[in-house]
Amino acid sequence: MQRPEFALAIHGGAGTLTRSTMTAGQETEYRAALHQAMVAGQACLAAGQGALDAVCAAVAMMEDSPLFNAGRGAVFTHEGRNEMDAAVMVGAGRDAGAVCQLTGIRNPVLAARAVMEKSNHVLLAGDGARAFAESVGLETAPAEYFHTDARYRQLLAVRDSSAAVLDHDGAHKLAFADKKFGTVGAVALDRNGKLAAATSTGGLTNKRWGRVGDSPVIGAGTWADPQVAISATGTGEVFLRACAAHEITARMRYLHEDAATAAAAVMAELGQMGGQGGLIVVDAEGRISLPFNTEGMYRGQLVAGGEIEVAIYRD
């Protein structure tokens, strides 16, 4: 198969997503938001920009939407704050940047990119991450910007429990009945054959003690190298223990599996470990794989010359 001029895939979280749990209006909203994110990434790639530009544009679009657990739609910690994590990685040179426990920055994915491009570090946390983001001129936003009523009701529903819950889990009756593992991400191959990945999340509702999941951890929730780019969404602690994203490239390198086979094997292993969620994968030939072991995953994909495809349900 001839390599396409470019390729792009996104995810907006995975979980108990069925037609019976969403109204027609809610489904329309999510499909429109996914399509807008795809258009943002596609525009970069079609204009000849790099894969990093495309994945950041797509993820930033989802961060700006209150529908997804990232940026504006980030869930609340036990203390009632919005602490966000994000990472980017480019395949050429394996350059990477990440932030965690970030507050007050409108687009965490751009903060992660700035760490990669404008610092000597890979991962910055908390107040330091915010101070760095402000020092390079990234847009800030007040706490009110990140406060969405649906997310705050989620917190109130579980705040008195000891559990930290995945996105809508424990609060689904307040909105609609989905248990969703909320993260957003994008992977892309550009015209020059370069790959990049980006991931962003608000983490767990009611999380405490500075909990950080897999999304900003290079090799766990985000990875790119010359052969493949990966972004994950799901049970963060399990994805961390499995080094899920890197495990895919390791299988490709040492077992000579193709990306789709390797991703499917890793999803099976995650399931055996008690993990739920999904992965988006694109390889150096522009082949896209979107495996998940939940009932649905918000997702989109495109190869140059084709139409944007967005989907929610397994069927």
Binding site members for substrate: 211-214, 233-236
Find the largest Cα–Cα distance for the chain. Answer: 56
For residue 299, give both structure tokens: 């997702």
Q: Which amino acids are annotated as binding site, given as ranges?
A: 211-214, 233-236
For residue 101, give both structure tokens: 């426990």
Q: Which residues pair with 196 in a beta bridge?
A: 90, 188
Return all residues near 162 (Cβ < 8 A) that are at least 6 apart.
Answer: none
The span from the CA of 235 to the CA of 212, in Å, is: 12
The span from the CA of 298 to the CA of 126, in Å, is: 29
The span from the CA of 236 to the CA of 44, in Å, is: 30
183 catalytic residue (yes or no): yes
**Contact criterion met (CB below 8 Å) for 18 and 300:** no
Residue 25, Cβ density class (10 Å: 0-12 exposed, 13-18 middle, ≥19 buried): exposed
Q: Which 3 state secondary structure label does DSSP give 159? A: coil
The span from the CA of 3 to the CA of 90, in Å, is: 19
Residue 4, Cβ density class (10 Å: 0-12 exposed, 13-18 middle, ≥19 buried): middle
From the candidates 21, 183, 201, 249, which is the catalytic residue?
Answer: 183
Which residues belong to the active site?
Answer: 183
